[in-house]
Amino acid sequence: MSEGFAKDFVSTSAMAKDLRLPIKNMFQLLAEYGWIARRENKWVLTSKGEYEGGQYRRSEKYGEYIVWPTSIFQHHLLQSATEHIHINATDLGEPWGIPGRLMYRLLAELGWIIKTVKGWELTEVGLAKHGVQLENDDSGELYCAWPVNVREDTSLTSLVSKLTNEAADDMFDDKHSIDGHVCSSLGHKRICDWLYLMNISHSIEREIADSGLRSDFYLPQHRLYIEYWGGKSPYDLAEKMSKKAWFDKHDISVIELSEDDLDDLDHVLAKLLLENGVKVY
């Protein structure tokens, strides 16, 4: 059981974590059940919520907040919650640390959705996964939402696992990217996967003109190189210096990525590509 503030009680946010629901959806759900209500910009217990065992606690950091008995997890309304709540791509990818816009690309790779001029539209496969088609009230752009338990879908978890492999390079045994390229390191694989999901044509280990060197990635449609400086061996460092010298001498456009960039690759690489005239979002 997630950490609560007393042995037999759990906070609303901790309850959301155990149910694998976004916190905002957890509060909305309890409000729909009539257990809590919004009063003067804060959540308060209703008489129904008190009947279900809700209580108040207070801390110096959070002020007054609501807790629930751990037995609440057995309530039939909560047990069926994941069947009735639909979440957007941002909330869907949150437990894996995958931003919403990249999550859409993963769902498209699975064939659940397709990008059209109207936005992201469900396919027949997506409908079978119980996705729902929605429209932004302001822009009219289409988007999709999903039942929370779709996170347990084996095809989705398998693809997510390939994308978010956390193994160290010396334990890196699955060298194939999503599109089938054989990658030399985990860092190269993550970059290759991202480029593929963004539908950016690329080659790996391509010879750099007559330099005798090979690039990590080359985008032929944009005549742009991407180099990942993740290696730490003397050979890697020597190769890095040789490549940098050649790129500088010939005034060649190159995007340089470090190991630290992998943690926020979707933001970092999208921004660097845009600076070089390549728009991906």
Which phi and psi (to 5°) does residue 146 adopt? -140, 150
Angstrom distance (rounded) from CA 212 to CA 230 = 21
- pLDDT of 232 reads 63
The encoded tokens of residue 63 equal 């002020």
- pLDDT of 258 reads 93
Secondary element (H or E) of residue 191: helix 186-197
Handedness of CA 3, 4, 10, 11 (dihedral sign): negative
User: What confidence tens digit (pLDDT) does each residue in 251-274 have?
Assistant: 998 999 999 999 999 999 999 999
User: What confidence tens digit (pLDDT) does each residue in 221-253 have?
Assistant: 999 999 999 866 666 788 888 999 999 999 998
Secondary element (H or E) of residue 36: strand 36-39
Instruction: With H, G, I as helix, E, B as strand and everything else as coil, classify residue 28.
Output: helix
* Residue 198 CB-half CA count within 13 A: 22
The encoded tokens of residue 222 equal 């944009």
Angstrom distance (rounded) from CA 82 to CA 21 = 8
Treating both helix axes as pointing N-terminal to C-terminal, what angle do 186-197 and 265-275 enclose, rounded to 10 degrees? 60
Which phi and psi (to 5°) does residue 278 adopt? -115, 110
Does residue 280 have a pLDDT over 50? yes
Angstrom distance (rounded) from CA 94 to CA 85 = 16
User: What confidence tens digit (pLDDT) does each residue in 153-211 have?
Assistant: 999 999 999 888 754 454 455 678 999 998 888 899 999 999 999 999 999 999 998 88
In the chain, % helix, strand, coil (3-state, to 5) comes to 45, 25, 30
Is residue 20 a contact partner of residue 82, using CB atoms and an 8 Å limit?
yes
- pLDDT of 19 reads 83
CA 90 vs CA 5, 144, 146, 166, 198: distances in Å? 28, 11, 11, 21, 17
Does residue 276 have a pLDDT over 50? yes
- pLDDT of 235 reads 65
Q: Residues 41, 47, 48, CA angle at the centre, nearest 5°?
A: 100
User: What confidence tens digit (pLDDT) does each residue in 72-123 have?
Assistant: 988 988 877 766 788 999 999 998 999 999 999 999 999 999 999 999 999 9
Q: What global pTM score does this model have?
A: 0.74
Identify the structural domains of the chain with CATH numbers, from first to last.
Answer: 9-83 (no CATH), 86-160 (no CATH), 165-275 (3.40.960.10)
- pLDDT of 5 reads 44
- pLDDT of 24 reads 86
Structure confidence at residue 3 as a pLDDT band (50, 70, 90): very low
CA 219 vs CA 96, 186, 203, 226, 262: distances in Å? 28, 20, 7, 8, 19
